[in-house]
Structure 1
């Protein structure tokens, strides 16, 4: 049996949640980075006895289209899946149920689902520094319950919240731009999950390809990539009511 940690985590929050779960389930873990535009996912074909933690962020209550497409390249072959959606304290809406449909279509058997919170990738004031110690304690408890279920060979699929058809996919349309501090090192371009940044000129971005994941902002060693201040203020204001009250991690098992 192998444990696979399959994550789409442009800014790192989703991977932190996945790590908290996988570290409790085993030591020999194979990581699969769906955020890597150069990863050859066709080589990953799991076996029936394997376990996969498949984690994605919630983008406007949906699975990011890029993540969905890349997950569809991985063959489950009956492997047991723990699906995880991570959101910035607003709502995850149809993300989990859509992720369930995607992985089941590819041959995985969903045995548990987790919704967890991480710092909002755009409006950092919301869910700041999460997952925190309380989240990690809860996630550790979740992993223990999931492990107990697996040991009992209970591979039943829990009731997972969400709607079919899913809500209409949104598009943040927020494209970070370089500041004067940019040295044109090219790291943002090489790490962009969708190759939207020109490698020869990082100031040039394919706006249609950009998914507003904020990875270019998070990986820049010079903090030289930012979004428009006025636009950020509007986003903060729009999210204030929904994001100000702390939400907790949830387990469906």
Structure 2
């Protein structure tokens, strides 16, 4: 069988998940690729529908070994009609635990047919110049791996005439899930006088936690500690305050310095 089009759905505050999915799509070499970025709040207001003649690729970052709680409701509202689906998670070189299995089960409950799964490494949200963790990932080797994954997906689809001929993929993980997707509520961002109020941080924030008129004002209860505002500030005016998140950055740098390798299941 051949998919008429490919839909890429990704939640990607710092761009790593988006980069992985685009690389997978490059390996598939489809003429029709549609990108659906659900990072910003307004993009998660409309549910998505897919059909059995499309290929759906869903990518999410791993939060505490789980699918981010922020996007669970949107994912559960997907209306897939026997749509062949690829599940992808991106983690910061620690562990992805049950996130890939959780994503697979969500897709199944929405009517999708998981035909492949992948776990890739992206620079950790808490990575800094002083305490880097998976800095620069996904790198060129990760990109090549993702493109090869795309080619394997294409070969699998072309090997059958109907989605019903494909057997269910085995994904590592445990149920009940081990991790807790509840995020920290913590005031951890320091804004210096280098801030020019350009508004980039507010525009990129996936929860709308930053006041667009005064970027030093942050609704802590909305913040998901993705650090997109820190990593994308053109003036480097935003940094981590001493405390819980900075301590975690140091701990990750110390304990998870050995580079992990991406995996896929087809």
TM-score normalised by length of structure 1: 0.92
Indicate conservation of the 8 Å contact 1:123/1:235, yes or no: no
> How does 1:112-191 map onto structure 2 within 5 Å?
112-124=116-128, 125-153=132-160, 154-167=165-178, 168-173=180-185, 175-191=188-204
TM-score between both structures, scaled by the size of structure 2: 0.88
Equivalent position to 1:15, from 9, 14, 18: 18
Correspondence for 1:69 among 73, 78, 84: 73
Over the aligned positions, Cα root-mean-square deviation in angstroms equals 1.9
Residue 164 of structure 1: how far off its partner (Å): 1.0
Distance 1:220-1:236 versus aligned 2 partners, 3 A rule = closer
Q: Is the Cα contact below 8 Å between 1:4 and 1:32 reproduced in 2?
A: yes
Aligned partners of 1:49 and 1:177: how far apart in 2? 48
Show the counterpart of 1:218.
231
How many residue pairs match? The answer is: 253
Cα gap change, 1:186 to 1:240, in 2 (>3 Å): closer
Following superposition, the deviation at residue 233 of structure 1 comes to 4.8
Residues 122-165 of structure 1 show CA distances to partners (whole Å, capped at 9, x for unaligned) of 12411111111221222222221111111113532211111111
How does 1:205-244 map onto structure 2 within 5 Å?
A: 205-229=218-242, 231=244, 233-240=246-253, 242-244=255-257
Aligned to 2:63: 59
Alignment correspondent of 1:245: 258
Alignment gaps of 5+ in structure 1:
none
2:52 corresponds to 1:48: yes
Shift of 1:3: 0.4
Determine if contact 2:230/2:236 at 8 Å carries over to the other structure: yes
Long gaps (5+) in structure 2: none
